[in-house]
Structure 1
Amino acid sequence: MTAGSMIRRITETTSTNDDARRPEYRHGDIVWAERQTAGRGQRGHSWTSAEGENLTFSLVLEPRFLPVGEQFLLSEAVALALTDTFADFGIDTRIKWTNDIYVGDRKLVGILIEHSYTGPTLGRSVAGIGINVNQRVFDPALPNPVSMALAAGRTFDREEVLERFRTHCAARYALLERGDADTLQRDYRARMYRLGTPHPYRLPDGSLFTAAIEGVRPSGELLLRHADGTLRAYLFREVEFVIDRPVR
């Protein structure tokens, strides 16, 4: 990301996000662990990964210029950098709001970004990222996993994947620094999973409805066009995608 930024590779930790909070890590540094004993995902889920086959790492960012109300733009930059990375390897991906990366209806990447604040702006952000790279056999309890290897039919050099991501993340972060929110918003919308087509969604009370994604606000709310024509905005945890488990 920046001159002098480092990658620290370790065998085991509880969570790379916890490690990356330590003060010795600065903007652009990465903590990469082969094994996490308490990896975290979105919605309070855990993140598991086969040792030696995938990438589980955390990237330290210090976007002190970014207002708290626009923090979702940082999520957009990270997610877009991942889709840029996979495109380099011939894998077409989509961003499932808020932060998962999908191939078709299967999950390739999970992202968990945790922030600290300095008054009205962000202070330090840690982007925890889990990429299924070379794993081909998954726990049957996982609903819809996929890997780069399964998507492309070959194995990958994990260090090369990580370096490609660093390059693309630096470019997307530069857009953020320049204040080019329009490009980030446009590209994020264009790569959204299920954009423009009706699909089922679930509310917290369990009720289902059908709607089509129209986009996302800079503040992060998902915009859904309901079957009756109304456009409604949903915050994280206010709506859930309904995705059929693929036949194995």
Structure 2
Amino acid sequence: MIHRIEETTSTNDDARDAKYRHGDIVWAERQTAGRGQRGHKWSSAEGLNLTFSLVLEPRFLPAGEQFLLNEAVALALTDTFAQFGIAARIKWTNDIYAGDKKLVGILIEHSYSGQTLARTIVGIGINVNQTEFDPALPNPVSMAMVAGRTFDRGEVLEAFRRHIGIRYAQLELDERETLQRDYRERMYRLGERHTFRYPDGTPTEASIEGVRPTGELLLRHADGTLREYLFKEIEFVIAGK
């Protein structure tokens, strides 16, 4: 069920309430303290975009395999955009890009029960119809800017709900090879040589070869070595960002 509210601090905070169960979506017009990855704030123009949280209860999924859930969510989003004629790519780990610009931000928060996941809150911000952004934002883009037309936000959300249902079913049926293959094929800059940056600012040239089932990014460096990186161990270098 979709629960629509006018204002909240963060839909991820709201979605923790036990009254929301598996498959519920909390959609807010305004977030006063929306959060993104790496502790960043997520800002969105009122009435133009989608800011919502999806509640999942993947109790069948071992904690060590939680990246498969990330893959299912990212793929459902790219499936959604494809339905509306927009070619989107997954920027490891969770951002969705159109070209070299950010279309979606995702913040996934888990709670655990022993060795498995218990409850997952998937916070999603989709730039839908906004065409003017804060200059301080590095590289935003919206569906409207990419497609040259506006969209019905409710229609977009319903499309996502259908597609996440399909991808989540693949996860439940242990179709991990399908999820991993599709995720790899839709990775942003897959197989292209680009500059990346280490946390200390040191640059390195490498190309993306894929991602481990546990989530590590696989980079082939200029000297031929293949190395794997966890979140925050390597950063993309993108013009204008």
Tell me the TM-score normalised to structure 2 length.
0.99
Structure 2 equivalent of residue 94 of structure 1: 89
What amino acid is aligned across from residue 39 of structure 2 in structure 1? G
**Structure 1 CA distance for aligned equivalents of residues 168 and 69 of structure 2:** 8
**Structure 1 CA distance for aligned equivalents of residues 6 and 239 of structure 2:** 35
What amino acid is aligned across from residue 61 of structure 2 in structure 1? L
**Structure 2 CA distance for aligned equivalents of residues 127 and 76 of structure 1:** 12
Query: Given the alignment of the two structures, is residue 25 of structure 1 paired with residue 20 of structure 2, yes or no?
Result: yes
**Structure 1 CA distance for aligned equivalents of residues 102 and 199 of structure 2:** 22
The Cα shift of 1:138 comes to: 0.4
**Structure 2 CA distance for aligned equivalents of residues 67 and 103 of structure 1:** 32
User: Which of 53, 56, 81 pairs up with 1:58?
Assistant: 53
Tell me the TM-score normalised to structure 1 length.
0.97
Structure 2 equivalent of residue 3 of structure 1: none
CA RMSD of aligned residues (A): 0.6
Structure 1 equivalent of residue 100 of structure 2: 105
**Structure 2 CA distance for aligned equivalents of residues 100 and 30 of structure 1:** 19
Query: Given the alignment of the two structures, is residue 176 of structure 1 paired with residue 158 of structure 2, yes or no?
Result: no
Query: Given the alignment of the two structures, is residue 114 of structure 1 paired with residue 109 of structure 2, yes or no?
Result: yes
**Structure 2 CA distance for aligned equivalents of residues 12 and 96 of structure 1:** 29
**Structure 1 CA distance for aligned equivalents of residues 148 and 214 of structure 2:** 38
What amino acid is aligned across from residue 208 of structure 1 in structure 2? P
| Corresponding residue pairs, total | 241
**Structure 2 CA distance for aligned equivalents of residues 180 and 35 of structure 1:** 37
Summarize deviations over 1:45-67 as a string: whole Å, max 9, x none: 11000000000000000000000
Structure 1 equivalent of residue 145 of structure 2: 150
**Structure 1 CA distance for aligned equivalents of residues 213 and 66 of structure 2:** 8
Structure 1 equivalent of residue 39 of structure 2: 44
**Structure 2 CA distance for aligned equivalents of residues 132 and 58 of structure 1:** 15
Structure 1 equivalent of residue 129 of structure 2: 134
**Structure 2 CA distance for aligned equivalents of residues 212 and 165 of structure 1:** 30
User: Which of 183, 186, 192 pairs up with 1:188?
Assistant: 183
What amino acid is aligned across from residue 139 of structure 1 in structure 2? D
**Structure 1 CA distance for aligned equivalents of residues 87 and 108 of structure 2:** 23
User: Which of 227, 236, 242 pairs up with 2:231?
Assistant: 236
Gaps of 5+ in 2: none
The Cα shift of 1:20 comes to: 0.2
Summarize deviations over 1:22-79 as a string: whole Å, max 9, x none: 1000000000000101000011111000000000000000000000010000000000
User: Which of 162, 182, 204 pairs up with 2:157?
Assistant: 162
Moved over 4 A (4+): none
What amino acid is aligned across from residue 71 of structure 2 in structure 1? E
What amino acid is aligned across from residue 205 of structure 1 in structure 2? D
What amino acid is aligned across from residue 60 of structure 1 in structure 2? V
SS at match of 2:184: helix
What amino acid is aligned across from residue 97 of structure 2 in structure 1? Y
Gaps of 5+ in 1: 1-5
The Cα shift of 1:141 comes to: 0.6
